[in-house]
A and B are shown apart, each in its own frame.
Chain A
């Protein structure tokens, strides 16, 4: 950000809810089925059909609201009217002036707090595929619509305009995703579109009123979010410094080009003609239901982060490693390992790097994780081997014993290792002389050659020990 400017960011996050059926009908809510196979008169909006609210969706919405410290209140549904082929009724049933959840907040690991204005229920639209042209509706030769997604329950979580940097925007979205997963309401998968983020970005001189904002769409990853917000803020500052004016508009993020571009300007924006949905009655969550949902909520990421931090004591852990572990739901692994006496730094590193953003824990269970790290600590697995086995277990599950045996990772006897070390020394007499003469950093050279000769099975520390006995 250029000196003398401040960015103001608010995020709108849509998450699909993990219900068995859609928001207003009994059709399955599942990703990936053949197009237009999970549909019925209601979610196709056939004439005469009527919506009936899914109670499980309400419970999950309440769970999200409680996790975000919102007030859960009696609410109503409205119709948001606009024509679009992937919307079967040409209106979307959403919530308007009375959302089910309002007025909460989310605390981030960097100590900042982002307010939550509302988290309301609404139905998803179908999915359009545009063939020909640029792949957008206006110049397509043909458009295909899959209504399987139409009527899937969504909660839209609207933050206050509290976010001040692209980095904080990414942190907020990552922490919110972890909260959604922790409530059981969402799988948080941005790549499948089950969590979607839109960003409202404006810039101003500190202390001045809010500037004109642009809304950025098509942010399919946390990385896209951070890049897009940074790009957009820079664009607006450059425009203003050149004496221009920011136009209120919706902009499309192109991840390949790394830029935003105009999608539609405010003047073209639709008037949605919101009015109360006459086919649904007021939604009044009962105290008993709210209490039941509250009681069933597990610990949220902030709580788990505090618990893990306390356990780590003096151990070094940067905020990012800790966030990866907490947001990936890996803290139970780390805690169990530490309780078994494994070095906290090793446990954090293996959890964050091997199971973190890349793939998650998958089918790996806590006992297997602890066992692999215990063997690595005892020198019975090399670091390379431990990482390989963790990857195998995350993919396929099973016990540590079986996974290690399947790879043939038997610890080398000191005789066998000694023989390899002797051979390597014999092949590199010059380096050996320098090492003996005191050039300690050559240890790495020998370790590398021993690793190569043993296909990574040797333990680095054991190699150094062997070198020392021969020095």
Chain B
């Protein structure tokens, strides 16, 4: 059932929130063992909250735009008292004493978190296979990965366990799994959604965003979680944008740039789907031109210096002293080493090493410093493109969902699946992935619409056009 229908029915007193939550819990029970989507299900908490929502409705109150809507939370989002592991052994058993701002806002809108979804360890991965709690399977094709790192959140929606889920996107971690699972996923403008309570991977790149089946559901969810938060110094000063009011704006007269660098090297079906999306936008009245932004090719290498550098610092606190895993040893340094050795998986260790190296004396200028310059160059290149067009179009991922295990042994191949999504994180801009077309084996594909900072209203209206175009096609 659609989140907006659930909310409407719950607010009207025609559906009980308890029933909606029970449906979700039942769907989870049916397929979670097979798919490994939720790493923690908060049955009691969810049902208690649902009962509260029903009481409020009975008292004549309006619990909000997501009243009674079961939601999934990526396991790097803090919710008071609910285990939060980030897919890592090192945080096994840790229960945060506070909730993320985005989670608080969901609760404030009447939504009901039903549990925490699986993810690549500390969001480092593109397939949800680096999780210490085992890989998640793609509900559309269980021998395939759901993408990552928000693969659990994508799978939860794709398996109809919940209508919406929150993910986080550092280099494509919402958009790529959305594409691979046939969903809508939004990477908001950096600072639009507060990061307070999102366990950091790379602080200058991380953004929380929604995954849903439809543009309208994703837009509604984003509206709820967006807006200034004084607890995040990088939070934008403005309140949340009106997205629902712009879903039907269309794209007539809009200038769209099809970006060569955001399709090159992709599977032929992906290229074809992106061109078909361009046609759909043209048909709806947009003027589509082809553009090249060669600087985007530098994104991947800059990202794999900046993100690991920040991660090496962000993940230092997992030292066994205060919370999470502790492996005892003779002295404190040995304890730190033993804890981190046992607690982190191979990919996390690889990136901590990479980041530590990139920031080290003698290497900083050549690696991290250089990557920062590339980031500036890329932001300037985007700015030039946005002088010519309002919106950019490209593929979300170069392939359809790949087989479980196919890229585990080859980090470079894995990293390349984010090549089209990374530039938006480096620029801090907004992007949305919408399902469009099918891959060689019939699996869903996604296309990406990109816009400058705070362009979410335009992006959701263009995405709605593609959504409608897909249904007609």
* Residues of chain A lying within 8 A (CB to CB) of residue B196: 48-50
- A44 surroundings in chain B (CB, below 8 A): 322
Stretch from B136-144, B308-316, B394-402 forming part of the interface with A: B308-316
Q: Mark A78-92, 1 if CB is under 8 A from B, else 0.
A: 010101010011110
Q: Judging by beta carbons under 8 Å apart, are B98 and A47 in contact?
A: no
Given A48-B77, A81-B316, A81-B359, 18 other A-B residues pairs in contact with their CB atoms under 8 A? A45-B317, A47-B91, A47-B96, A48-B78, A48-B195, A48-B199, A48-B200, A49-B196, A50-B233, A81-B313, A85-B332, A88-B317, A89-B317, A90-B316, A275-B364, A278-B234, A278-B310, A281-B234
Q: Would A91 and B313 count as touching, CB distance under 8 A?
A: yes
A46-B323, A271-B360, A279-B234 as given contacts; A137 in contact with B313, CB under 8 Å = no
Which residues A259-276 have CB closer than 8 A to chain B?
271, 273-275
Closest residue on chain A to residue B78 by CB atoms: A48
- Which label, helix, strand, loop or mixed, suits the secondary structure of the A interface? loop
With both beta carbons as reference points, the residue of chain A lying nearest to B197 in the complex is identified as A48
Instruction: Answer whether A85 and B321 are a contact pair too, CB < 8 Å, given A48-B197, A52-B231, A91-B316.
Output: yes
Q: List chain A residues, Cβ under 8 A from B230.
A: 52
Q: Is B117 an interface residue (CB 8 A)?
A: no
A455 at the interface (CB under 8 A from B): no
Q: How many residues of A contact B (CB 8 A)?
A: 31
Given the known inter-chain contacts A44-B322, A88-B317, please indicate yes or no for A52 contacting B84, CB distance below 8 A.
Answer: no
Is A83 a contact partner of B232 (Cβ separation < 8 A)?
no
Q: Give the complex CA separation of A45 and B98 in angstroms.
A: 13
Verify if B86 is at the interface (C-beta below 8 Å from A).
yes
B334 to chain A, nearest CB (A): 11
Q: In the complex the two chains form, what is the Cα distance from A280 to B230 in whole Å?
A: 12
| Chain B residues in 8 Å Cβ range of A281 | 233-234
Pick the contact of A83 from B100, B323, B333 — CB < 8 Å? B333
Task: Return chain B residues, CB-CB under 8 Å to A271.
Answer: 360-361
A138 at interface by CB-CB < 8 Å: yes
Q: Tell me, yes or no, whether B427 is within 8 Å of chain A by CB.
A: no
A-B contact pairs, 20 of them (CB 8 A): A44-B322, A45-B317, A46-B323, A47-B84, A47-B94, A48-B100, A50-B232, A51-B233, A81-B316, A83-B336, A85-B321, A85-B332, A91-B313, A271-B360, A273-B361, A273-B364, A275-B310, A278-B234, A278-B310, A280-B234
Report the bound CA distance from A44 to B98 in whole Å. 13
For residue B442, CB closer than 8 A to chain A, the reply is no
Bound CA–CA A381/B309 (angstroms): 72
Point out the residues of chain B lying under 8 angstroms from A273, CB to CB.
312-313, 356, 359-361, 364
Q: Which residues of B contact A137 (CB under 8 A)?
A: 332
Which of the listed residues A47, A50, A145, A281 has the most CB atoms from chain B within 10 Å of its own CB? A47
Q: Please, how many angstroms separate the alpha-carbon atoms of A53 and B233 in the complex?
A: 8
Contact with B along A152-172 (1 / 0, CB 8 A): 000000000000000000000
Residues of B within 8 A of A45 (CB): 317, 322
Contact of B344 with A by CB under 8 A: no
- Residue-wise interface mask of B (172-213) relative to A, using a CB-CB cutoff of 8 A (1 in contact, 0 not): 000000000000000000000001111110111000000000
Chain B residue numbers with a CB within 8 Å of A79 are: 313
A91 neighbours in B (Cβ, 8 Å): 313, 316
